[in-house]
Amino acid sequence: MTKLQWGMIGGGEGSQIGPAHRLGAGLDGLFEFTAGALDHRPEYGVDYGQRLGLGDRAYGGWEEMLQAEKKRSDKVDLVTVATPNSTHFEITKSFLENGFHVLCEKPMTMTVEEGEAIVEIAKKTGNICAVNYGYTGYSLVRHMKAMIARGDIGQVRLVNAEFAHGHHADATDADNPRVRWRYDPAQAGVSAQFADCGIHAMHMASFVTGQEVEKLSADTVSCIDVRTLEDDAMVNFRMDGGAVGRLWTSSIAIGRQHGLTIQVFGETGGLRWSQEQPNQLFYMPLGERLQIIERGEANLSPEADRTTRVTIGHAEGMPLAFANIYTDLAEAITARKEGRVMDPAANLYPRAEDGLRSMAAVYAVAESGKADGKWLDARPPMFT
């Protein structure tokens, strides 16, 4: 596979997410980091980009990067958007319309209408728009999906998903600018904790089961009363394949660190995986003893084998999961360059449609929470 050129917007010096993307994109030698607009402060972005080796392709802003790159014969093949949420739509739209493939951080947009526009633009232009639900890149998440698809636990009955942490639990820290903006509707939109973390858990439920969320009922609360938006939510949902879903997300759960966990219960077995212990998948066949599946062991699914990075017994980390998303994208982009059509089932990167469904769920949760848990359609109008 010919090495592809990769660019990044946002993710500058001190960023939490930037290093994970740079490690993930570069791990397999499929992408070369060649361009970037890494900071909203032009001089900082240029300086940091040059220190990372970008030379004259270290840009002061995303508009400058777009104008310069689209004129190059060796323009970047993929652009990652890792900027504040409110900027995702404009940047993603602009690059898609100018011939670039895009990987956008979640949430893909701030509104359902923007999400539908991105889906339509991606279809019209033929350019890839992926959304970074990066936890779906973990090897045993892929194996969990494969086990469910081949019927190892029978028809799925119940999904229980969590993404709860306690890092915003200190009421005395509620006015900290780095925390406060997350609960401010002017900056965060209609939802705080669910839009930040809950959509990861809900997307994971759909990813592993192959079912989409049709309707939901939400109980949302601001446990720290100065907050306008929720810091805790409990969401019940129903899926289009008949599964029942329960989802808890919180930022005030003291003692929880990251907290992304998913359990799937079927007719003939159950599965459980936690992102903080990603090397183990717990499998309980009906009437048998609990089995612990280890990442990297023999006789796993091709989906697991393909995404296993280090030998058994060593910890698997988030950048390696991101690397699997980038590998999926490299294969898809190369196939398009060569005029080949790939089977979507064999290439599992999260798509713009996933980002759109998440945004529709965000609005449904916010509305249901205000309406005492009223059941609402969680689908975007495009998919009803």
Supply φ then ψ for residue 250, to 5 degrees. -155, 150
For residue 50 the two structure tokens come to: 């040059």
What pLDDT does 173 receive? 87
Task: Please report where in the chains the tokens 């090897």 appear, as a residue.
Answer: 139
What pLDDT does 174 receive? 81
CA distance 196 to 187: 13
Q: 42 with 61: CB under 8 angstroms?
A: yes
Q: What is the pTM of this model?
A: 0.95
Which of 169, 163, 166 is closest to 256 using CA atoms? 166
Q: 316 with 304: CB under 8 angstroms?
A: no
What pLDDT does 37 receive? 98
- Report how far Cα 324 is from the mean position of its chain's Cα atoms: 13
Task: Please report where in the chains the tokens 């728009």 appear, as a residue.
Answer: 129
Strands 280-285 and 269-274: antiparallel
CA distance 144 to 149: 9
- Count of Cβ atoms closer than 10 Å to residue 154 Cβ: 13
pLDDT in tens, the chain (384 residues): 679 999 999 999 999 899 999 999 999 999 999 999 999 999 999 999 999 999 999 999 999 999 999 999 999 999 999 999 999 999 999 999 999 999 999 999 999 999 999 999 999 999 999 999 999 999 999 999 999 999 999 999 999 999 999 999 999 988 888 888 889 998 889 999 999 999 999 999 999 999 999 999 999 999 999 999 999 999 999 999 999 999 999 999 999 999 999 999 999 999 999 999 999 999 999 999 999 999 999 999 999 999 998 899 898 889 999 999 999 999 999 999 999 888 877 789 999 999 999 999 999 999 999 999 999 999 999 999
